[in-house]
Amino acid sequence: MGIPVGKLALYTVFGGVRPSACLPITIDVGTNNEQLLKDEFYIGLRQKRPTGEEYYNFLEEFMKVVKQIYGEKVPVQYEDFANHDAFELMVKYGTTHLVFNDNIRGTAVVVLAGLVASLKLLGWSLVEHTFLFFGAGEIWMIFLPLLVSIADMDGLFSLKHIETILKSLHCASCRSFRDHKLELV
């Protein structure tokens, strides 16, 4: 329960959110780690983690109930989901719920804030730099649109450039990755 309570503390201290307006929840659906399942001190649910339809049906039910009980505008922050699940959840619920994944979006925002602050401190412009996004990392797929939106404020280029960049990926695994992530842009 440490992470949800820790996030609640951050929202309270830095965001002014009343603690009574937050409900920290930990969803434990088990683990596939055999060593943990055999560990007498493991405090998690002692069962194999469901996958596929069973897993997503459970999360669907959870999201419906949260919205039903707390209304249309309740934000749901989730984190420490496997990256492929986290992106699936952002795509699936991004237009119907207020969802935020700190591991992906939060990190991207912090990186962007650091970049913008550094450029400002040094008196440099975004246009003076070239950025290389190497690998199939999840965070850059969120960071790139943010970077483009900052550049677009200066009239440098628009979100259409992201699609052009992603469509230029040539390897088969890159195309598969690109097609999956392009839905988030």
What digits encode the pLDDT tens for the residues 105-133? 877 888 888 888 888 898 887 767 777 76
155 in the Ramachandran plot: left (φ > 0), alpha (ψ -120 to 50) or beta?
left
pLDDT higher for 162 or 62? 62
Q: What is the spatial distance between Cα 32 and Cα 34, in angstroms, rounded to a whole number? A: 6
Q: pLDDT-based confidence at 58, cuts 50/70/90?
A: very high
The torsion angles phi and psi of 181, rounded to 5 degrees, stand at -80, -25
pLDDT tens readout for residues 64-106: 999 999 998 888 888 778 777 887 888 888 889 988 887 778 7
The residues, any chain, with a CB within 8 Å of residue 44's CB and separated by 6 or more, are 28, 30, 31, 36
Q: CA-CA distances (angstroms) from residue 81 to 33, 45, 71, 84, 104?
A: 15, 16, 24, 8, 10
Q: Does the pLDDT of residue 182 top 60, yes or no?
A: no
Domains and CATH numbers, the chain: 2-101 (3.40.50.10380), 105-182 (no CATH)
Q: pLDDT-based confidence at 156, cuts 50/70/90?
A: low
The residues, any chain, with a CB within 8 Å of residue 85's CB and separated by 6 or more, are 55
| Average pLDDT of the chain, as a whole number | 78
Q: What is the spatial distance between Cα 61 and Cα 53, in angstroms, rounded to a whole number? A: 12
